[in-house]
Every structure is written in C-alpha cells, then in structure tokens.
Structure 1
Amino acid sequence: MKTIKGPGLFLAQFASDSAPFDDWNAITAWAASLGYEGVQVPSGDRRLFDLDRAVDSQTYRDEFLGIAAQNGISVTELSAHLQGQLVAVHPAYDAAFDAFAPAAVRGKPKARQEWAVDQVARTIRASRLLGLDAMATFSGALAWPYLYPWPQRAPGLVETAFDTLAARWRPLLDLAEENGVDVCYEIHPGEDLHDGVTFEMFLDRVDQHPRANMLYDPSHYLLQQLDYLANIDIYHDRIRMFHVKDAEFRPTGRQGVYGGYQPWVDRAGRFRSLGDGQVDFAQVFSKLAQYDFSGWAVVEWECALKHPEDGAREGAEFVRRHIIRTTPHAFDDFAAQGADAAANRRALGLA
C-alpha cells in the first residue's frame, strides 16, 4: 500500500491582485507557512504561472520549480479547469463563460473553443516538461441545460451531445497519451461529466481511453446525494487526483438538491471548510489508502461562511491528521509461520 502525499493546496481560489496572492514566490512561501507541502496551479493565471513560457523555455521551468522548492513546496499538478470548460459550451452559457476567455475571442464561440483546446494541449505539454504525470480539468457541457427530462428530451439529443464531447476531447486524450499525462476530469455539476453514469458514457465514446481519468471530490457527490464512498470502490482505478473539500446537505420542507435559486449561504446544500461539513473523511482517506492511491490530497477551499485564509490554515492540519501512513506489513506477522508445503498438507489431513 502507498501513503497519500500532502497536504497540498489548490491556488485558484486564493490568487488575487493583493499580496501575497499575486506573486509565485510570495504565494508559495505563504502556503508553506501554513504547513502545505504542495500546491496545485491554475495554468491560466499569469500572476502565478506563464503557460506559454512553461512550454517554450527550460530556463523558465527551472526558475518556476526552483522558487517553489526554495520555499519547501512541490507543484502537485497543473489545472486547466476554466480552459476545459470552454472546450464545450452550450449557447445558453456563452455570455457567462466568455469571462473565462481573452477579449479577442469573446463573442466568437468557435474561436473561443479553438483557444481553449490549444490551452488544454499546452497544459498537457507543460505538465510533462515539469515532470508531472497528471493534470486537472473540467469536461465542459453541451447537454447540461437538458439535465431534467422536462420537457421531454428529443430522441438522440443526449447521445449527440456526448458524441460531440468525445470527439472534441479525443485528440487531447491522444496527446496526453503521447506525453504520459493523465487528464483528470473533475466530476462536477454543471459539467456533462457530473456523476459516474455520465463518466461511463464518455468513456464508452473514447474507447475506454487510458488517459481519461477522474478528479475525485466528495463534496460534489454529497450535494448530489450520491454515495461518495461506493464511488471509490467502483472507480478507484480511474481516480488519479483528489480534492479535499467538505460540504453539507440539509434539506427542508422548502428546498432540496436544486436549491431554489438561492445564494450559496441559503442553499440546502452548500460547501464548507474542512471539518465543518458532513463528509466522512476518515473513510475517504481509508478507502483511497486501501486502493493504493498515491497522488496528492489537495485542499480546495470553498465555503459559504468561513474566511478563506482561516479555511486554508485549518485545512493543512486537517489533511495531515487524515493521511494514513500505510503499514509495511500485516499486523499479525508476528505469529506467521514459514511456508512449508508438507506442513500445509499435514494441517489439511492430507499427509
């Protein structure tokens, strides 16, 4: 069995124009001061990371990794969540998702998609060049507006959406194979890959591609009322990345899973800082250890109530307490008897 690495911290929710969150050296020093050993880096945030230079310049890559190492930090993975979202966008979301793209391609869905595909491809290549073997992303979504089957969905609508999604991602997955990088889709509401069934629908269309894998985040499953522990039993071979994020679901007589269009703080289901929600992380970490997950436990802070810096500080210690240092031997080895075929036959009455 393998011991999970960590604690790590996803920087997307912390990057800003204010110190120490606007500079690579400062933010890695800050993360280390809280007890983090690694950080997951959004590949599109130029305050922290220059994706183009990372692909083109060994000097830049050495400097980038060297600064982190001087601060006692490893780069756990790159994230292309926002770019991956733009690989597939239903027109209903064009205006909202234009904010994720540069000004030159806003209002131009085809150009925006081409830009997003190039960004994901660059993140794959940069991951390999940085010595990383996995990257995080969203799948994007074409079918999401049709999640609830009323009005009735036209025959073939969902199938067409998934056929198209798979066709857009297949060349990127092949590129990932060439570079030895797992593409880890965060299974997430708002994405066409939002639960196990939809992930399997996608896998079927990309011929069970070995580089199509999962970013496991139990908070998204709890808010869907999906069995997040059984999910590990089913998909452990595909789980290559782990976000440690808590959530709570408290339905009332007025609202449930859909949330009644309420803001996060007023929803029945809402994300919480680690330890403040309902996810059974003792069992999550136990199952991941059982199935030899050897990646990073990366804190993703999202909470409707608590200050992010408090959540980050508490999260490092929370993960450290939950990581299981796996045993190198069985607990009853002290009573083990040497292998002896003759003795085994005698024990079975076969001598």
Structure 2
Amino acid sequence: MKTIKGPAIFLAQFAGDAAPFNNLADIAHWAAGHGYKGVQIPSWDARLFDLARAAESTTYCDEVKGILAEAGIALTELSTHLQGQLVAVHPAYDLAFDGFATQQVRGNPKARQEWAVQQLLLAAQASRNLGLSAHATFSGALAWPFIYPWPQRPAGLVETAFDELAKRWRPILDAFDEAGIDLCYEIHPGEDLHDGITFEMFLERVGNHPRCNILYDPSHFLLQQLDYLSFIDIYHQRIRMFHVKDAEFNPSGRQGVYSGFQPWIERAGRFRSLGDGQVDFSAIFSKLAQYDFNGWAVLEWECCIKDSEQGAAEGAPFIASHLINVAARAFDDFAASGIDLATNRSLLGLDR
C-alpha cells in the first residue's frame, strides 16, 4: 500500500488581486504558512501562471518549480476546469460560459471551442514539462439540459450527445497519452460526466482510453445522494486525483436534492469547510489507502458560511490528521510460526 501525499490546496478559490494572493511566490508562502506541502494551480489565472509559456519553455517551468520550492511547496497538478467546460457547451449556456474564454473568442461558439481544445493541448505539454503525472479538468456538457426527462427525451438524444462528447475529447486524450499524463475529469453536476454511469458511458465511447480517469470529490456525490464509498470500490482503478471537500445534505418537506433554486446558504445541499459537513473522510482515506492511491489529498475550499482564510487554516491540519502511514508489515506478524511449505502440506494431509 502507498501513503497519500498531502496536505495540498487548490488555489483557484483563493487567488485574487490583493497580496498575498496575486502572485505565485506570495501565495505559495501563504500556503506553506498554513501547513500545506503542495499546491494545485488553476492554469487560467495569469496572476499565478502562464499556460502557453509553460507549454513552450522548460526554463519557465523550472522557474515555477523553483518559486514553489523556495517556499517549501510542491506542484501537485495543473487544472483546466474552465477551459474543459468549453470543450462542450450546450447553446442554452453560451452566454453564461462565455466569460470563461479569452476575450477574442467570446460570442463565437465555434472559435471558443477551438480555443478550449488548444488550451487542453497546451496543458498536456505544460504538465509534461513540469514533470507532473495527472491533470484536472471538466468534461463540459451537451446533454445536461435534458437531465430530467420532461418532456420525454427523444430516442437516441443522450447517445448522440455522448458520441459527440467522446469525439471531441478523444484527440485530447491522445495528446495527454503522448505526454504521459492522466487526464482526470472531476465528476460534477452540470457536467455530462456527473456520476459513475455517465463516466462509464463516456469511457466506453473513448475506447476505455488509459488516460481517461477521475478526479474524486465526495462532496458532489453527497449532494446527489450517491454512495461515495462504494464509488471508490467500483472505480478505484480510474481515480487518479482527489479533492478533499466537505458538504452537507439536510432535506426537508420543502426542498430536496434540487434545492428549489435557493441561494447556497438556504439550500438543502451545500458545500462546507472541512469538518463542518457530513462527509466521512476517515472512511474515504482508508479506502483510498486500501486501493493504493498514491496521489495528493488536495483541499478544495467552498463554503457559504465560513471565511476562506479560516477554512484554509483549518484545512491543512484536518487533512494531515486523516493521512494514513500505511503498514509496512502485517499486524499479526508477531504470531508467525515460520512453518514451511512441506509443513503446510502435512497440516493439510496432502502427503499421506
């Protein structure tokens, strides 16, 4: 078994225009000051990182690693959540998602998708140049507006959507394979890959691609009322990244999973700071250790109640307290009798 690395922190929710959150060196020292050993970098945030430059220049990548090393921090992975979202956008969401793209392609869905694909290809090269092994992204969505079938979905609609989704992602997966990087889709409501079944539908259509893998975040499963522990049992061979994020689900006679269009603070299901929600992280860390997960435990902080600085400060010791130094030997070795094969055969009566 392998010991999970950590604690680490995803910087997307903390980057800002004020110090120490507006440049990589300062935010790395801030993370280290809270006890984090690694950071996951959002590749779209130019205040922290230049994706195109990283794809082209190993010298720049060495500079990035040097900045982090000076703070005592490792780079865990890059993320293209926003760009991945734009690989597949249903027209209903064109306006809402346009802001994720560079200014030059906004208002032009075709150009926006081409830009998004190029961003993923750059991310594959940048990840290789940085010596990484995994990358985080979203799948995007074509079928999501039809999640609840009323009126009934026409026959073949979902199949057509997933065929197209796979067609768009297959060349990207091939590029990540060439770079030696696992592409990990965060399984997330709003994406066509939002639970185990939809991941399977996609995986089948990309030919069980070896680089098609999972970013496991239990908070999204708790809010769907999906068994997030059984998910690990089923998909552990594809889980290559881990977001440590808490959530709670408190249904009432007035709202349930859909939460009645309420703001986050009034929803039945809402994200919480680590330790304030209902996710059983002790069981999760145990299962991941059982299945030899050797990636990073990365805090993704999202909470509608607690301040982000407090959430970050509490997150590192919370993760550290759940890391399991896996056993180097069996617990009952003390009782080993030293019996050899011949004795075993004799005990079983096999040599009579």
Normalising by structure 2, report the TM-score.
0.99
Runs of 4 or more consecutive aligned structure 1 residues displaced over 6 Å after TM superposition:
none
Task: Identify the residue that residue 40 of structure 2 maps to in structure 1.
Answer: 40
Shift of 1:58: 2.1
State the alpha-carbon separation in 1 of the partners of residues 240 and 207 from structure 2.
19
Correspondence for 2:336: 336
1:341, CA displacement in angstroms? Answer: 1.8
Matching of residue 27 in structure 1 with residue 20 in structure 2: no
User: Which 5+ residue runs of structure 1 have no aligned equivalent?
Assistant: none
Matches within 5 A, 1:46-57: 46-57=46-57
- Total equivalences in the alignment: 351
Matching residue's letter, 2:290 = Q
The alignment's C-alpha RMSD in Å is 0.7
Q: Secondary structure at the match of 2:88?
A: coil
* 1:221 alignment partner in structure 2: 221
Query: Alpha-carbon deviations, 1:148-169, whole Å to 9, x = none?
Result: 0111111111111000000000
Instruction: Give 1:84's aligned residue.
Output: 84
Cross-structure match for 2:206: 206
| Correspondence 1:105 to 2:105 | yes
> Residue in 2 aligned with 1:152?
152
Partner of 1:73: 73
Separation of aligned partners in 2, 1:282 and 1:337:
34
Q: What amino acid maps onto 1:67 in structure 2?
A: I
Q: Which amino acid aligns with 1:6?
A: G
In 1: Cα distance, 2:153 partner to 2:263 partner: 29
Looking at structure 2, the residues matched to 281 and 188 of structure 1 have their Cα atoms a distance apart, in angstroms, of 19
Cα offset for 1:339?
4.9
Match of 1:325 in 2: 325
- The answer on 1:128 being equivalent to 2:128 is yes
Q: Counterpart of 2:277? A: 277
SS of aligned partner of 2:47: coil
Q: Structure 2: any 5+ residue segments left out of the alignment?
A: none
Residues 68-125 of structure 1, C-alpha deviations (whole Å, 9 max, x = no match): 0010000000000000000000000000100101111010000000000000110111
Deviation at 1:55, TM superposition (A): 1.2
Partners of 1:228 and 1:34 in 2: how far apart?
28
Separation (CA, whole Å) in 2 of partners of 1:57 and 1:142:
35
The residue type paired with residue 80 of structure 1 is T
Aligned letter for 1:295? G
Q: 2-side partners of 1:266 and 1:48: how far apart?
A: 33
1:84 partner amino acid = G
Paired-residue identity, %: 71
Distance 2:92 2:70 in 1: 46
Q: Which amino acid aligns with 1:160?
A: T
2:54–2:126: 8 Å Cα contact kept in structure 1? Answer: yes
Letter matched to residue 320 of structure 1: A
Paired with 1:231 and 1:348, the residues of 2 have a C-alpha distance of 39
Indicate the larger mover: 338-347 or 246-255: 338-347
Give me the TM-score of the superposition, normalised by structure 1.
0.99
Give the match for residue 163 of structure 1: 163
**Structure 1 residue 330 displacement after superposition:** 0.2
Deviation at 1:56, TM superposition (A): 1.5
